[in-house]
Amino acid sequence: MGDISSVIGKLAISYKFIDENKLNEALQIFKSEQASGKQISLEQILVRKKYISLTQLQTLRSGADFWEARQRDIKFGIDAIKRGFVSQENVNDALKEQALEFKKNQTCKNISDILIAKGVLTEEERNLVLGLQSIQPEKEAVETKDDATPKKEIEFELILSRDIVAKAFIQPKEEDYSNITVEDIKAFLKKRGIVHGILGDEVINESLKQLVDKKESTLVAQGTPPTSPIDAEINYFFNVDYLKIGTVKENGTIDFKDRGEIPHVKKGTLLAEKIPMKDGSSGTTIYGSPIPPLKPRDKNLLCGTGVELSPDKCKLFASIDGQPQMMGIGKVSVFPELRIAGDVCLKTGHIDFDGSIFVNGAVQNGFKVKGGNLIAKEILSAEINMSGDIIVSGGIIGAKIETQGNIHAKFINSSTIYAFGDIILDKEIISSQVLTSGAFKITNGKIISSMICAKKGIIAQEIGTDFSTPCKIKVGTEDHIKKVSEEFKKLIFKKKEIYDNLRAKFDKIEIELKNLQKQISDIVQIAESNNRLKLAVQKRIDLSKAEQNKEAQSKAQLLLKQLNIKAKSIDDSIIPLFDEEENFCIEFNDVSPKVNKGEIELEELKKELDELLEWAKNNKPVPIVKATNIICEGTYITTPNVSTSIDATYQNATIREIQTEISIGDKIKKEWTIKAFTEG
């Protein structure tokens, strides 16, 4: 009985589809059928005997497929551990996750994919293990008998390089190398299954001379490596960094007024071009097994306001005159300009402008500003929502700010900040909360009594003071993206709820309108039939008059009178239906564009969320905290794998998470910890 049939039999009992008596009976039939030369499987017998249903058979086959995949993955795990790529604990966790996934969804993930997703195995390491698994285990030289060739078989030691391509070296076991020929080497390689990349006869002959002279191993075959793929690239044709930072003075402070020349483009200007990715080509091991190339990474051009995407999705063009800007998530926009001579205040009201907003004064308390870039002298207790960068030559006090770009200011006090890009300050941040997917930099200032979460790390001169509330610092985490994505999901849910209600209303109107139109159509047909009958009766009246047949004329006139009464009744019944149809059409025409708009908005939101998550995936974390002067005792630090309150004040320190090994009896346990590395 084959392995799969055996597994299916055991699974059938395990799942309590059958008992052992029925399995034994089926096995007896199976053996009898096999003995008589019939090709039949155990599964067919179980179904034929009605011991299991077809649905149960499908369940058993899924379980058997999972068992087969499980055996392959266990071997993969063993080989990956042997090569030091992963730990036993990593493999055990991946196998547990695989089993849970199968139990929950009846799908089987490869543990290599699980290990890669967890970040403990790379694609290169996975391909290396799979490639080396295709290499047959080395065996002792096989003794063959050939009556026509009495020559003693020469034995070699085969030495393989440890890469996926594999190079084959041989070391003769004979003391006398002089009798070795090219044919001896080729015969040995053939027995070992080495069929690809064998060096030419002349090269091997030259190697034989070295064998005789140096008595050392020599290269005889090498595989063909896969060619590297080419990742997609995006070339930008404007200065994407002009707003990133002002000029740094000799004393280390930032001159926010000196930001360089602001770019300006005309409508139709090419802003960016994508160079498509290219696949690599497969390689071949010395055993003839293919080596798949790595997959190239793709990049998409993200089109913002004032920008058009070419039909081939490989070029971005300006659709208006204005300032080109690349947002934190890589989206390109072109903004027109709005210049405000003084403050944003009662005189101006709230500002909502889809472009760059230049404020010569301050954004005053209680006012809202929404737009592309914002350049101002000061932001007070205002609400700011921008899709580009925010540049403040003074400070930010008591504000709530959200932006897809970077933020530059002298200081921040009592504010809440959410940003996709970097936050760069000149002096200090006090009593504030910051979540950013970029870096937080205050190289010549202090972080005091604040919570800072920065995916790309934190650099400050001082973190905390002896008398203030300890700071809470998080680096390398996705808090900002989680917040934004949750808001997206809530918005999508709300939009879908509105869309579903509109869709239901639209469908109801459509059905009622169709029913009404059918009703009108039926009545119109009755009216047309009545009119045709009236014409026929009128002809009969005219004919009776001509024939002076008064009796026939009288009967026809009576019938015509009845038909006229019916016609009036039809008109009376259909007029309200026409009015009702008109109302339905008005409602239909009102709801229809709303449904279409809702569907488009919903798809755009889903696409925007996908782009956001893809950007976050490619935006690698930097879980490092650096204090060029001091970081105070009690500062609470969180990294992707561990959180702790530091137990001392450190000077000129870089703090990061490290993984350590702890011996517990005869076992080694790995755990994460936070460590401070001091300089000087």
Note the pLDDT tens digit of each residue in 335-384: 898 999 999 999 999 999 988 899 999 999 999 999 999 999 999 999 99
Q: pLDDT tens-digit profile of 415-442? A: 999 999 999 999 999 999 999 999 999 9
Of 494 and 577, the structure prediction assigns the larger pLDDT to 494
pLDDT one-digit tens code per residue, 581-606? 888 888 888 888 888 888 899 998 89
Query: 449 vs 329, 412, 468, 563, 608, CA distance in Å?
Result: 29, 12, 6, 93, 35
Within 13 Å and on the Cβ side, how many CA atoms surround 389? 28
Specify the pLDDT at position 369.
Answer: 96
Residue predicted with more confidence, 252 or 617: 617
DSSP assigned state of 278: B
How many Å apart are CA 472 and CA 460, to the nearest integer? Answer: 14
Distances (CA, A) of 536 to 524, 532, 540, 561, 658: 18, 6, 6, 13, 101
Q: How far apart are CA 392 and CA 42, in angstroms?
A: 77
What average pLDDT score do residues 638-651 get?
93
Host H or E run for residue 390: strand 390-392
Torsions phi, psi for 479 (to 5 deg) = -55, -45
Contacts of 12 (CB under 8 A, 6+ apart): 18, 23, 46, 51, 52, 56, 60
CB 448 within 8 A of CB 429: yes
DSSP letters, 215-259, are: ---EEEEEPBPPPPPB--EEEESS-TTTTT--EEPTTS-EETT--
> What is the gyration radius of the CA atoms in the chain, in angstroms?
40
Residue type, 257: K
Dist. CA 88–CA 2, nearest whole Å: 31
Which token pair is 187? 């015969």
CA–CA separation, 670 and 622 (whole Å)? 21
Pair of tokens at residue 252:
């280390």
Domain coordinates in residue numbering, the chain:
3-133, 156-222, 233-282+298-438, 483-618
Third-level CATH fold of 483-618: Helix Hairpins (1.10.287)
Q: Is 580 exposed, middle or buried (0-12, 13-18, 19+ CB in 10 A)?
A: middle
Q: Which of 171-175, 315-319, 405-409 is predicted least confidently?
A: 171-175
CB-based contact 606:492 (threshold 8 Å): yes
Identify the pLDDT of residue 266.
92
Q: How many residues are present in the chain?
A: 680
What share of the chain has pLDDT > 90, as a percent?
Answer: 33
Residue of higher predicted confidence among 614 and 255: 614
First to last CA, the chain: 72
Q: Give the pair of three-digit tokens for residue 632.
A: 């105070």
Residue 266 DSSP one-character state: -
Among the listed residues 105, 21, 122, the one whose alpha carbon sits nearest the alpha carbon of residue 62: 105
Residue 153: left if φ>0, alpha if ψ -120 to 50, beta else—which one? beta
**Given this model, what pLDDT does residue 138 score?**
41
Q: What is the C-alpha to C-alpha distance for residues 81 and 85, in angstroms, rounded to an integer?
A: 6
Mean per-residue pLDDT over the chain, rounded: 83
**Highest mean pLDDT: which range of 79-93, 156-170, 215-229, 500-514:** 500-514
pLDDT grade for 175, boundaries at 50, 70 and 90: low
Paired strand residues for 273: 235, 315
Could you tell me which of 418, 398, 422 has the C-alpha nearest to residue 408? 422
Work out the angle at residue 323's Cα, subtended by the Cα atoms of residues 321 and 328, and round it to the nearest 5 degrees.
135
Q: The pTM is what? A: 0.58
Query: Is the distance from CB of 253 to CB of 300 less than 8 angstroms?
Result: no
Nearest to residue 670, comparing CAs of 637, 634, 642, 636? 642
Vertex 21, ends 18 and 25: CA angle to 5°?
Answer: 100
Choice between 346 and 104, residue whose per-residue pLDDT is larger? 346
